[in-house]
Amino acid sequence: MKIAVGSDHGGLQVKDAVIALLAGRGHEVIDAGTNGTASVDYPDFGEKVAEMVSRGEADQGVLACGTGIGMSIVANKFPGIRAALVTDEFMARMSREHNNANILVLGGRVVTPETAVELVAAWLDAAFEGGRHQARLDKIAVLEKQACGGAGA
C-alpha cells in the first residue's frame, strides 16, 4: 500500500516515527515533509498529502501538526477525503471501521511518537465494515458534491 505522510514542525517527531512503522510493515511511504524543526505552515504539507490521496496517487495518508486540528481542517477540504483526528486506539479503529477514514491525523503535542505508532497500527489493522456505514458515507459524498462540486467520497 502506498501511504503519504506529512507534518509541520509540531508533528515532525510523530511523522518520523510513523514513517519508520510504515516502512517496517512494508508499505511504500511518500514523505511529503517537513524534514526540519524550523517553523513552517501546516497547510502546505496537509495540501500535499490530501491532494495525493484525493487524486489516487496514494492509497492513504497520515498527517501531524501540533494539535492535529489544523491538518484535519486542511485535509477535509479535498474531494473524497475523510480525515480523522484521533487521540486513542478506539478512535483510530472506529475511524476506519465506521468512517473509512483515508487520512489519519495526529497531534504531535498531544500524543507521543510511541502512542502515534500505536494509533496508526490500530488504524491500519482495522477494516471498513460497510453496510449501514457505507450508506452514511454515501450521504456525505452527496453533500460534498452539492456544497463543493467535488468528486465525492
Phi, psi of 57 (to 5 degrees): -80, -20
CA dihedral 60, 46, 75, 91 (to 10 degrees): 60
Domain CATH for 69: 3.40.1400.10
Over range 64-93, report the average pLDDT.
98
Mean pLDDT of the chain: 96
Decide if pLDDT at 149 tops 70: no
Asked whether residue 138 is domain-assigned, the answer is yes
pLDDT digits (tens, 9 = 90+) for 97-109: 999 999 999 999 9
Query: H helices within the chain, ranges in order?
Result: 12-24, 42-55, 69-75, 89-97, 113-125, 132-148
Q: Which domain holds residue 22?
A: 2-148
Q: Is the pTM here over 0.85, yes or no?
A: yes
Q: Is residue 107 part of a domain?
A: yes
Which residue among 9, 27, 98, 148 is the active-site one?
Answer: 98
The confidence band for 147, taking pLDDT boundaries of 50, 70 and 90, is confident
Say whether 148 is catalytic: no
- Grid cell in block for residue 102: 483515508
Given a cut of 70, whether residue 80 has pLDDT beyond it is yes
pLDDT digits 0-9 by tens, 22-78:
999 999 999 999 999 999 999 999 999 999 999 999 999 999 999 999 999 999 999
114 in a structural domain: yes
Domains contained in the chain, number:
1
Q: Which of 9, 27, 65, 133 is catalytic?
A: 65
Residue 47's SS3 state is: helix
Q: In Å, what is the CA distance from 53 to each residue of 13, 39, 88? A: 22, 25, 23
Strands 28-31 and 2-7: parallel
Annotated catalytic residue 98? yes
Report the percent of the chain where pLDDT is more than 90. Answer: 93
Query: pLDDT above 70 covers what percent of the chain?
Result: 97
Q: Are 6 and 32 in contact (CB under 8 A)?
A: yes
Specify if 153 maps to a domain: no
